[in-house]
Amino acid sequence: MRDRVFVSFGIALTALVITRPLDAQTEQPLAFSACYAPGTPWSRVMEHANVEVAASAIGSSLVPPAQQMSPGGPEAFAFVDGDRWSTTATDGGGLQQGDPTTLTWSIVPDGTSVFGYADEPTANSTLRAFLDSIYGSEAVWLPIFQSVFDRWASLNGVTYVYEPNDDGDPWTSTTIAAGALGVRGDIRIAGHPIDGDSGILAYNFFPDFGDMVIDTPDSFYNNTSDGSLRLRNVLAHEHGHGLGLSHSCPIEQTKLMEPFLTTAFDGPQHDDILASNRGYGDTNEHNDVTGSSTALGAFVGSQSENGRSIDDNGDADFFSFAANAEDTLDVTLTPVGSTYLAGPQRPNGSCSRGTLFNSLIQNDMGLEILDTDGISTLAMSTSNPAGVAESVSNQLLTTSGTYFVRVIPGFDNAAQLYDVIVTLVGPTTPPTTSWTFTTYDLIAFFTDTSTGRPSAWSWDFGDTNTSTSQNPSYFYQSAGTRTVSMTASNTIGSGSAVDQSVGVAKRTSMTMATGGTVDLDGDGNDDLQAIAQVGCAGDLNLRVINGSTWAGASEDYRTVDGADIPVSITGTSDFCSADEVAGLSDTRFVQNSVGDVMKFWTPEVTGSLIRLETDVVLELCGASFDVDLVGINVLGVDIREACNDISASTVVVMNGGDLTLRAGNSVVLRNGFKVESGGSLSVFLEVPTP
pLDDT band at 573; cut points 50, 70, 90? very low
As a dihedral over the C-alpha atoms of residue 265, residue 269, residue 271, residue 273, rounded to 10 degrees, the angle is 160
Residues 578 and 664 in one domain: yes
Contacts of 555 (CB under 8 A, 6+ apart): 549, 586, 587, 688
pLDDT band at 526; cut points 50, 70, 90? low
pLDDT band at 519; cut points 50, 70, 90? low
Strands (E) in 146-210, as ranges, are 158-162, 175-177, 187-192, 200-205
Q: Is residue 69 scored above 60 in pLDDT?
A: no
Residues 321 and 382 in one domain: yes
689: in domain: no
Q: Tell me, what DSSP letter sits at residue 406?
A: E
Q: Is residue 515 scored above 60 in pLDDT?
A: no
pLDDT of residue 37: 79
pLDDT of residue 1: 46
More confident residue, 321 or 597: 321
Strand order in the sheet with 456-460: 466-467, 456-460, 480-489, 498-504
582: in domain: yes
What is the β-pairing status of strands 667-669 and 646-648?
parallel
pLDDT band at 675; cut points 50, 70, 90? low
More confident residue, 235 or 348: 235
Q: Is residue 435 scored above 70 in pLDDT?
A: yes
pLDDT band at 604; cut points 50, 70, 90? very low
Residues 539 and 661 in one domain: yes
Residues 498 and 385 in one domain: no
**Is the CB of residue 159 less than 8 Å from the CB of residue 283?**
no
Closest CA to 469 of 477, 461, 481: 461
Burial class (CB within 10 angstroms; exposed 0-12, middle 13-18, buried 19+) of 596: exposed
339: in domain: yes
Residues 305 and 274 in one domain: no
Q: Is residue 663 scored above 50 in pLDDT?
A: no
Q: Which residues of 15-44 are buried (b: 16+ CB within 10 A; e: fewer)?
A: eeebebeeeeeeebbbbbbbbbbeebeeee
CATH number for the domain harbouring residue 467: 2.60.40.10
Residues 170 and 145 in one domain: yes
Residues 515 and 497 in one domain: no
Contacts of 359 (CB under 8 A, 6+ apart): 77, 270, 271, 274, 336, 337, 338, 339, 340, 416, 417
pLDDT band at 51; cut points 50, 70, 90? low
Cα 214-216-220 angle, rounded to 5 deg: 95
Contacts of 608 (CB under 8 A, 6+ apart): 602, 625, 626
pLDDT band at 397; cut points 50, 70, 90? very high
**Is the CB of residue 344 less than 8 Å from the CB of residue 352?**
yes
CATH number for the domain harbouring residue 379: 2.60.120.380
**End-of-domain residue from the set 250, 280, 310:** 280
Closest CA to 148 of 63, 34, 242: 242
What mean pLDDT is predicted for residues 100-106?
97
Count of domains observed in the chain: 4
Q: Is residue 621 scored above 50 in pLDDT?
A: no
pTM score of the predicted model: 0.66
**End-of-domain residue from the set 251, 280, 309:** 280
Residues 264 and 298 in one domain: no
Q: Is residue 163 scored above 70 in pLDDT?
A: yes
Distance CA 20, CA 5 (A): 7
409: in domain: yes
pLDDT of residue 656: 54
Strands (E) in 193-239, as ranges, are 200-205, 212-215
Contacts of 2 (CB under 8 A, 6+ apart): 20, 21, 22, 23, 177, 178, 180
What mean pLDDT is predicted for residues 115-121?
92
563: in domain: yes
**Is the CB of residue 664 less than 8 Å from the CB of residue 686?**
no
When mean pLDDT is compared across 57-71, 117-131, 381-395, the lowest value belongs to 57-71
User: Residue 256: what residue type?
Assistant: L
97: in domain: yes
pLDDT of residue 620: 41
Top mean pLDDT of 36-45, 397-406, 586-595, 676-685 is at 397-406
**End-of-domain residue from the set 504, 537, 561:** 504
Q: Is residue 3 scored above 70 in pLDDT?
A: no
483: in domain: yes
pLDDT band at 528; cut points 50, 70, 90? low
Top mean pLDDT of 436-440, 509-513, 524-528, 627-631 is at 436-440
Residues 312 and 362 in one domain: yes
User: Residue 143: what residue type?
Assistant: P
* Host domain of residue 581: 510-683
pLDDT of residue 633: 34
Residues 212 and 153 in one domain: yes
pLDDT of residue 661: 55
690: in domain: no
Residues 186 and 253 in one domain: yes
Closest CA to 311 of 275, 257, 271, 268: 275
Residues 12 and 133 in one domain: yes
User: What percentage of residues in the chain have a pLDDT greater than 90?
Assistant: 51
Q: What are the CA-CA distances from residue 78 to residues 58, 81, 205, 239, 389 (Å)?
A: 8, 9, 20, 20, 24
Contacts of 67 (CB under 8 A, 6+ apart): 59, 60, 73, 75, 76, 78, 344
